[in-house]
Amino acid sequence: MLRLIARRLAIGVLVALTVMTLAFLLTRLSGDLAISIAGPSATQADVEIVRKAYGLDRPLYVQFFAWTGRAMVGDFGQSYFFKDSVANLIQKRLPITLTLGLVGLSLALVISIPLGILAALRENTWIDRSVTLFTMVGQAVPSFWLALILMIVLGLQLGVLPISGTGTWQHFVMPGIVLAFTAIPALTRLTRSGMIEAMASDYIRTARAKGLSRARIIFKHALRNAAIPVVSIAAVQLGFMLGGSIVIETVFALHGVGYLGWESIAKNDFPVVQAVVLVLAVFYIGLTLLADILNALLDPRLRTG
Amino acid sequence: MSEPIAIQAPQPSSTGSSRIGTAGFAIGIAIVALVAVAAVIGNALVPQDPFTQDLGNRLKPPFWMEGTQAGHLLGTDQLGRDYLARLVYGARISLLIGIMTVITSGLIGITLGVLGGFFGGRVDDVVLFAITTRLSIPVVLVALAVVGLMGSGLGLVVATLGLLLWDRFAVVARATTMQVRNHDYVSAAWCAGASTSHILIREILPNIASHLAVVATLEMALAILLEAALSFLGLGVPPPLPSWGLMIAEGKDYMFFSPWVIMIPGVALAVLVLGINLVGDGLRNLLGAERLR
């Protein structure tokens, strides 16, 4: 078990370092950063001043190692636009994105697990087909468009929720629903297939033969086994959701890390872009590691590394 | 050793086949065919031009509402451009981006997956590492950053999405290659003195192609949705090209008074993606049935 975790951890660190390199190279794609920072009205002399001031006159590898070295200890440099350190900015914005992610995931689980169980128990009936159709439609609807529709219906016509902004808990409801919607199809299908597999297994037949009640069989025996992949996928899904929340945060003007990423891309604020890519990647890596550990804890067969 | 969970994550649906039946397959094919026809010859059938502005006729509603304008079946946008003409032109953009992205990402992913699955060992370790790294990269953010830094354009969007969406191709190509590499016909080819490249291209690839076709539909749907999201955020297809995502973005300011400006392109997008997914689902069921036989 420990060996398994150590191995996964080592791979995770290597992946994080690779992402770090890619994030650095990504922001150098535009060619001359000094020109984009100085702006369109800058003279050649201004550009040279910017180049010196931001250390962009140094060779690329020196810049890279200077950045990685400081990033390791949580120093991502200064934002060009916000006049604040990148670490501070992210620290301020992260709780909002994490709250949104957890709201979205909880909503998704509350909806998709019962739906998946229902579909599995009524396999190949109209109920099962409706659930499948619902997941397919859910997969097809663009999240930003769903967000706009909710704004029109809940925000304008019913007037029950604020249309955009950050501040109260109400501001998290609509973005949470939209984010949940992006995870519901996958989680529902997974619960359904896990449940169908579990209900067809030998231990359920044994439980039936023992004369246990249907409710006890479903919730005590089958669900426990069907839940294993769902729990671990839920952790991975949260990682995806944190990365995907950029669109939703931007639509709702919810000032989380995703919105920060969007703002800094629009403003050529590349230290922030680098850091946001890295932070979201590290969260994903950490969550997949957590998923592996959860998996091993829930299913003893996976404990040998 | 168990598989790293991250590798399995993006395709939970493959474990449980969702049965929507052959009717779904037929509907999916019909939708995709309809959109494809609209994309290819639509603008020849619609008399209006998608780019011509008519500021006197702004935001005219579609035919099922009051105050509609003759000659503009789906109304006009905020610059008086014919909405049907723009919608049809947008179908071309969506399909083009979907297909081009799948070709690019398919080439990358299938190459990596087949190599990893076939050779195993160190090669496979590298491939697995590449997949794990790719999965940890936040796609939307990186795509936005690339387009934001390098300037928007159709080709750039395709290149960016192609470089980002190869993970599922690699995962499936790797897994299926591992399954078929020990089959008798591969051994027979070895014995007949076939070269490695011959075996990979002539023996392995045709036998995993059907699984890859299912992945292609999923990735195409995803690419179309992502392009729409990028264009919606203003960092995808540049105006005045009528991408459906861009149409939603442009209509956003008027949506509270004229909701149809975002309803029409949004529904078009959802229906096309649903159609592609239904085709993928149908293909998967065909495969499942084949395996049972």
pLDDT in tens, A68-86: 887 777 777 777 777 788 8
pLDDT (mean) for B107-129? 91
Does the predicted TM-score (pTM) go above 0.90? no
Whole-number pLDDT of residue B293: 39
Q: Which one of A27, A37, A182, A265 would you mutate to disrupt binding with B, by most B Cβ within 10 Å of its Cβ? A: A265
Which of chain A's residues have a Cβ under 8 Å away from the Cβ of B235? 265
Residue of A nearest to B146 (CA): A26
Closest partner residue to B144 among A27, A156, A265, by Cβ?
A: A265
Which of the two residues, A29 and B199, has the higher pLDDT score?
A: B199
Q: CA–CA distance from B65 to each of B56, B57, B60, B260 (Å)?
A: 19, 15, 9, 10
Whole-number pLDDT of residue B100: 94
Task: Express as a percent the part of chain B with pLDDT over 90.
Answer: 25
Lowest mean pLDDT among A33-37, B91-95, B141-145: A33-37
Which of chain B's residues have a Cβ under 8 Å away from the Cβ of A139? 221, 273-274, 277
| A292–chain B Cβ distance below 8 A for any pair | yes
Contact A32, A38 (CB under 8 A): no
* Residue B273 scores a pLDDT above 60: yes
pLDDT (mean) for B117-121? 88
| B136–chain A Cβ distance below 8 A for any pair | yes
Which of the two residues, A221 and B17, has the higher pLDDT score?
A: A221
Identity (one letter) of the amino acid at B27? I
pLDDT (mean) for B201-205? 84
Query: Phi and psi (nearest 5°) for A140?
Result: -90, -25
* Residue B29 scores a pLDDT above 80: yes
The residue among A261, A277, A268 whose CA lies nearest residue A54 is: A268
Given CA atoms B24, B26, B30, B33 in this order, what sign does their dihedral have? Answer: positive
ipTM: 0.85
B235/chain A closest Cα distance in angstroms: 9
pLDDT bucket at B261, cuts 50 / 70 / 90: confident
Contact B228, B91 (CB under 8 A): no
pLDDT tens series, chain A, 305 aa: 778 788 888 888 899 889 888 888 887 776 667 776 776 677 777 777 777 777 777 777 888 888 888 777 777 777 777 778 888 888 888 888 998 999 999 999 999 989 998 888 888 888 888 898 899 898 899 999 998 988 888 877 777 777 777 777 777 888 899 999 988 998 898 888 888 888 888 888 888 888 778 777 877 778 777 777 787 788 888 888 888 888 899 888 888 898 898 888 888 788 888 888 888 998 889 888 888 887 777 776 666 54
Whole-number pLDDT of residue A63: 82
Interface of A with B in 90-109 (CB under 8 A): none
Whole-number pLDDT of residue B43: 76
* Residue B71 scores a pLDDT above 80: no
Cis peptide, bond prior to residue B240, ω within 30 of zero: yes
Taking each helix axis from N to C terminus, what angle separates B83-119 and B121-136, rounded to the nearest 10 degrees? 150
Distance between CA atoms of residues A140 and B244, nearest Å:
14
Whole-number pLDDT of residue B127: 92
Whole-number pLDDT of residue B116: 92
The residues facing B82 across adjacent strands are B76
Burial class (CB in 10 A: 0-12, 13-18, 19+), B69: middle
Residue with tokens 């105050």: B67
Kindly determine whether residue A132 and residue B252, on different chains, have CB atoms separated by under 8 Å.
no
Distance between CA atoms of residues A264 and A284, nearest Å:
21
Given CA atoms A187, A189, A193, A196 in this order, what sign does their dihedral have? Answer: positive
pLDDT bucket at B95, cuts 50 / 70 / 90: very high
pLDDT bucket at B274, cuts 50 / 70 / 90: very high
pLDDT (mean) for B210-222? 90
